[in-house]
Chain A
Amino acid sequence: METHAHGPQVIVDPTTLNPAKRTLLLNGALAGDETLEPVEEALLALLREERTEIRGYAMRDVPLAHCQGCFECWTTTPGLCKTEGDAGREIAAALIKSDLVVILTPITFGGYSSEIKKAMDRIICLVLPFFRRVDGEVHHSQRYPSYPALAAVGVLPAPDEEQARIFRSLVGRNALNMDCPVTAVCVMEAGTPPPILRDSLAADLEPVLAHVGGRVA
């Protein structure tokens, strides 16, 4: 385990047997919230079974300026956010070089936590400003030839069907806009016992785990 200049935890498993496959894990736990820790542990265990290289960011420890909505990453410094000196460019690079991105977040009003959003807002440099149509709906064209698979694990303090539905919808929209080849979502409650937690993650994330592990789901 290494400590990065910007403060995030970087997890590179030295025993990895399949280093060609890379996973980026963004942990969106808010300050003082430790309820995601057992979920992250279970996630890491599952990912290690797939022998993928794992790079993780605890976003609350990563200083990141907010997206200014200036679109200069499209027109002035194409493909790069103009903001330098924080981890924005590094996270965008890690994302596009990954085979799988895992978003672990407390579900906040049905969406991602602000700690995840501060990273997500900074990755629009990964697409082009130009438009394309997907099933009759307009989206941005792709800058890169391929994009990572997307897994999202949302943790609720208590069962909430409405927020779970919104969360699944949000992940689906992200996957559509990022042209993700495979997508999986897992919604669970904080405090789920470890055996159930692991089984839920394994079942719900199987398509993306198989993708990064090079297995047939």
Chain B
Amino acid sequence: MSALRVVLLVGSARPPGTGNSEALGSYLLARLAEGGMGTEVFHVHRCQRPEKERALFEAVGGADVFVLSTPLYVDALPYLVTRCCERMAAHRAAEPQEHRSRMVALVNCGFPELEHTLTALDICGVFARQAGFVWAGGLGLGGGEAIGGKPLEEVGGMTRHVRGGLDLAAEALLADRVIPEEAQAQLARPMIPSRLYTTLGDIGWLRTARKKGTLRRLWDRPLG
């Protein structure tokens, strides 16, 4: 019997190895690999050419688990992810899938509260059902910028609960169960207290602007 397969689609447009979505998805993938699953990773911005898109759709079609890990863009899935979902749903409707695939979504946002991600997770659930996946559940994460695009283990204790939640999700997926509520409860625990997160975030923007020489122009209104 061949090993079960999992495909990760990273929804961030950032270069591979630098995004928070990839860090989260890769952690989950590593746990599934430890459980014996074969893994494959795609980046949505690298699947725009027809042959790349076809390779993604075929890999997902043959996968036992499809993981979408994506940032939140303007309260929903990013354009490239939305487009990919539209095209994948159409592809799967045109070529009915014989293989039973489950889908899980990880949505992270730069706001401290995970509530911002709930609409996008709902969208993922509808996509999963329309595209013929078995919806295994979604996980939202607030304060994603605290990860800094690094592997979760490297970020250290701050991501302990995030890793704990993803561990629970991996256990559930390996056992062919839906993701338990406790996994989301773990991710709901803030990596950094909200007020500290926003203060550090604001300071970070100012420091970046100072380095770039744009500090005095940060509040510009060039289009108004």
Which residues does A use to contact B, with CB under 8 Å? 30, 66-70, 74-80, 89, 92-93, 96-97, 108-114, 117-118, 120-121, 123-126, 128-131, 137-139, 143-145, 162-163, 166, 169-170, 173-174, 177
Contact = CB atoms under 8 A, between A and B. Distances in A.
Contacts of A169: 118-119, 122
Contacts of B220: 78-79
B86 A108 contact: yes
B3 interface: no
Given A130-B205, A139-B111, A76 B212 contact: yes
Interface string B199-224: 00110010011001010011111111
Contacts of A97: 223-224
A117 B79 CA distance: 5
Given A69-B14, A138-B194, 16 more contacts: A69-B12, A69-B73, A75-B214, A75-B218, A78-B214, A78-B217, A111-B120, A114-B83, A118-B83, A120-B76, A129-B202, A138-B113, A162-B122, A166-B122, A166-B126, A169-B118
A114 B73 CA distance: 12
A67 B205 contact: no
Interface of B: 12-14, 19, 45, 71, 73-80, 82-83, 85-86, 89, 111-113, 115-116, 118-120, 122-124, 126-127, 130, 194, 198, 201-202, 205, 208-209, 212, 214, 217-224
9 contacts: A66-B80, A69-B71, A75-B212, A89-B223, A93-B223, A111-B77, A130-B202, A166-B123, A169-B122
Contacts of A174: 74-75
Contacts of A70: 14
Contacts of A118: 79, 83
Given A69-B12, A75-B209, A109-B130, A126 B223 contact: yes
A89 B79 CA distance: 17
A50 B17 CA distance: 51
Contact of A66 (B77, B78, B221): B78
Contacts of B73: 67, 69, 117, 120-121
A89 B222 CA distance: 10
Given A66-B78, A66-B80, A144 B202 contact: no
B74 A120 contact: yes
Contacts of B83: 114, 117-118
A160 to B, nearest CB: 9
Nearest to B202: A130
Task: Pick the 3 closest A-B CB pairs, nearest first.
Answer: A114-B83, A173-B75, A117-B79
B223 A80 contact: yes
A2 B86 CA distance: 31
